[in-house]
A = this chain, B = another copy of it.
Amino acid sequence: MDAFIISIGEELLIGQTINTNAAWMAAQLNTAGIEVKEIRVITDRHEEILDTLKAAADRADLVLITGGLGPTRDDVTRDVLCTFFDAELVMNRQVLDDITVFFKQRGRTITDINRNQAMVPDKARIIRNPYGTAPGFWFTQAGKSFIAMPGVPYEMKEMVSKHVLPALLEKEREKYIVHKSVLTHGIGESYLVDLIGDWENNLPEEIQLAYLPSVGIVKLRLSAKGKNEERLREIIDREVEALKRIIPEYIWGFDSDTLEGVVGSLLRERGKTVCTAESCTGGYIAHRITSIPGSSAYFSGSIVAYGNQIKTGLLHIPQDLLESFGAVSKETAENMAESVLKLMNSDYAVGVTGIAGPDGGSEEKPVGTTWIAVSSQNKTFSHKYQFGDNRERNIIRASNAALAMLRELINES
């Protein structure tokens, strides 16, 4: 079954509201094995909605429409649906009761404008709305479903989860899409292509591969489509296993994993603790680690040593070491990690020092130069990274690299 999503609303076209509704519906449909062919965002003008309904009917078997069902004058979706399906508005007792109860429960008086929302197209099945006053409409024509819902996210989500999806799944029992994402760090997209090109070329034809790069991380998404869900999972798992044998050193997680989550789980499992000494990342690694609920079980704390006096005073980095090697050096990074490890009495520590930019670079150490060290009770190792010239991305990339190195160290020990 192919789907088409129509999002109606001026607020989406002036960029005031991000279209999270469409993404949410697409994810739900996708999980149910229904492929979304297209998403269109349009204004609430009669002709435009009508044209889009026609286009959608040509392209898909299932059309989800949100927005324009409210009680005010700029809400025209119901009228357009009547035109499109040649339907008449009739008073629906059930809907009127729902609206009356809705207002009563909130101690408010029902107005004519609200009462008018109980006038519904005679050719539609009604989807009741427990959280608002606008009901949803489900039309069926030539075997295709057209489902109009309010644009208020929680009202729409309730209708989709409780009514639309269960009814669609009843019908559609033969097609599945299975996804699995493999998360890599430390290798660019084009290098990955070189390493895994043969594997990619030999993928079974049910599997599609997508490269999804973000700052320092490339996500490889495998999607398989077919009739037998179990078999699809098997072939995806087999290919992921094969991939793990080709690039084991770059893979750190799967699907919705985060580096801070993966590191946190490792520490929690082993009953170990971690702390950080941060210069150029300015506390961002500590923030990422503590964004995970329950991180107080394994996170001791952090010293953000931005000024050199803090590096010598609080972190006890020897003045002469700073002077001989500079604040951005292998020696300083390692000393930061080892020192904070002792100060906080933790099992693992991270030390990061670099030039985030845009200023502060030199010919020898240009903006983006970053030294990262990780340390345990019996081992310290460090790497130099050369990031770019964007401060925000340098901080993110340094935090990714530090968490990936920390993961490596925990796994080794």
Identify the A interface with B (CB < 8 A).
10-20, 22-30, 35-43, 48, 70-72, 74, 105-108, 111, 113-114, 131, 152, 154, 177, 179, 188-191, 193-194, 209-213, 221, 223, 276, 278, 281-287, 289-291, 293-296, 299-307, 309-310, 313-314, 343-345, 356-360, 386-388, 390-393, 395
Contact = CB atoms under 8 A, between A and B. Distances in A.
A386 B106 contact: yes
State the oligomeric state as a number of copies: 2
A387 B299 CA distance: 23
Contacts of A276: 304
Contacts of A27: 14-16
A211 to B, nearest CB: 5
Contact of A359 (B10, B293, B388): B293
Contacts of A15: 22-30, 36
A119 to B, nearest CB: 15
A286 B277 CA distance: 13
A41 B22 contact: yes
A191 B391 CA distance: 38
Contacts of A293: 357-359, 391
A34 to B, nearest CB: 10
Given A19-B23, A74-B210, A114 B38 contact: no
Given A388-B105, A388-B106, A40 B43 contact: no
Contacts of A356: 290
A296 B353 CA distance: 13
Contacts of A26: 12-15
A interface, over-half SS: mixed
Contact of A286 (B71, B282, B357): B282
Q: Taking each of A22, A27, A281, which has the highest tally of chain B beta carbons within 10 Å of its own beta carbon?
A: A22
Contacts of A304: 276, 283, 286, 290, 301-304
5 contacts: A15-B22, A106-B387, A111-B194, A290-B306, A296-B360
A24 B12 CA distance: 10
A38 B40 contact: yes
Contact of A211 (B72, B281, B345, B388): B72
Given A39-B12, A72-B211, A211-B74, A306 B314 contact: no
Given A16-B221, A26-B12, A42-B38, A107 B393 contact: no
A127 to B, nearest CB: 18
Contacts of A211: 70, 72, 74
Given A70-B189, A189-B70, A38 B37 contact: no
A20 B15 CA distance: 9
Contact of A282 (B18, B289, B303): B289
Nearest to A74: B210
Nearest to A36: B13
A355 to B, nearest CB: 10
Given A299-B307, A307-B344, 5 more contacts: A105-B388, A113-B190, A283-B290, A293-B357, A296-B307
A194 B17 CA distance: 24
Contacts of A345: 309
Contacts of A393: 154
List 3 tightest A-B contacts by C-beta distance, closest first. A282-B290, A15-B27, A283-B283
